[in-house]
Amino acid sequence: MKKLIILSCVVFAMLSCRNKDAKKADAHEVKSEVPQQTSTALDLGCYVFNDGKNKVSLEITESGAEVKGNLSYAFAEKDKNTGTFIGQVKDGVLVANYTFQSEGLESVRQVAFQVQKDTLMECYGDMNADGTTFKDVNNLTFSSDMPLVKTDCDEQKNACLYKDGKVYSTLEQNCLTLASFKTKLNPLKDGARVEGNPTYIIFSADNSKAEIFLPDSDKGIVLEKSSEGNWDSKQYKLFAWKGLVLQEKGIAIYGG
């Protein structure tokens, strides 16, 4: 009887070991079947399409496991949208979530660009019901109608000169004409208005940021909203008081 019990235990132990070995083998096989995805690094910089009527501007600010940057679309006779994106490059295609402002509302949708050396081609495909995500990122087609060609970011920004009535906006990621601004502040001295060139101001769609354009400056300075009616940077403060007042290091220099 004892021999029978011992023999049964040995057989049970052998079967248990075989089952464990089989599970390990199965797990190894499943793991080996998962395809490895390749990624391609993108150079930092600006990629732009501009035919004089339509403009698409993409700036890559971080490139690694994740690619981050700014993106804006300005098509003729359509509302412009500007925002940021976060995504990854896999098999030569940048797929990213684009968070943007348009008509005062924040939205998110998926975008994709095929990487061709120093050129990006926007990809298109079937979207889900609400039009925010591709149904299949592995089944996209790209268009060569609007190639985004790598451009020197500083060269693009330096093309907007105050003396020519233009400035470069970080918020809009585009050249703006001074005549297009709706908000401007007049120079102040000791709290009173004096003669001089105005400062121009724009706000982001959600009012979380303000950008000021000082006289003779080709580029704007972005201020972050600190509280209701207040936007700050290290040097400047913009606040609502009988309109708007801009201070530099605590001294009111523009108002209106």
Mind listing the pLDDT tens digit for each residue in 144-175? 889 999 988 887 777 788 988 999 998 888 88
Evaluate if pTM is beyond 0.85.
Answer: no
Q: How far apart are CA 156 and CA 144, in angstroms?
A: 22
Q: How far apart are CA 228 and CA 93, in angstroms?
A: 41
**CA gyration radius for the chain?**
28
The H-assigned helical ranges of the chain are 2-33, 153-158
Q: Provide the token pair at 6.
A: 């011992």
Among residues 68, 102, 97, the alpha carbon closest in space to that of 172 is found at 102
Segment among 13-22, 64-73, 115-124 with least mean pLDDT: 13-22
pLDDT score of 124: 94
Residue that the structure tokens 């089989």 belong to: 22
pLDDT score of 42: 82
Cα dihedral sign, 242-247-251-253: negative
Provide mean pLDDT across the span 99-113.
Answer: 87
Please answer whether residues 113 and 148 qualify as being in contact, where contact means their C-beta atoms are separated by less than 8 angstroms. Answer: yes
Which phi and psi angles does 173 have, rounded to 5°? 55, 45
Can you list the positions of beta strands (E) in the chain? 45-50, 55-63, 67-74, 81-90, 93-102, 105-116, 119-124, 141-142, 148-151, 166-169, 174-177, 183-189, 192-193, 199-203, 209-213, 221-227, 230-232, 236-240, 244-248, 251-255
pLDDT score of 195: 94
- Provide the pLDDT confidence category of residue 217 given band limits of 50, 70 and 90: very high
**Cβ neighbours for 120, distance < 8 A, ≥ 6 positions apart:** 47, 58, 94, 113, 114, 147, 148
- Provide the pLDDT confidence category of residue 40 given band limits of 50, 70 and 90: low
CA dist 20 to 13, 30, 32, Å? 11, 15, 19
Q: Is the pLDDT of residue 197 over 70?
A: yes
pLDDT score of 68: 94
Express each pLDDT in 112-138 by its tens digit: 999 998 999 999 999 999 999 999 999
pLDDT score of 159: 79
Residue-averaged pLDDT of the chain: 83
Provide mean pLDDT across the span 72-89.
Answer: 88
Provide mean pLDDT across the span 199-204.
Answer: 94
pLDDT score of 156: 73
Question: In 10 A of CB 6, how many CB atoms?
Answer: 10
pLDDT score of 190: 92
More confident residue, 17 or 86: 86
- Provide the pLDDT confidence category of residue 20 given band limits of 50, 70 and 90: very low
Q: How far apart are CA 214 and CA 87, in angstroms?
A: 35
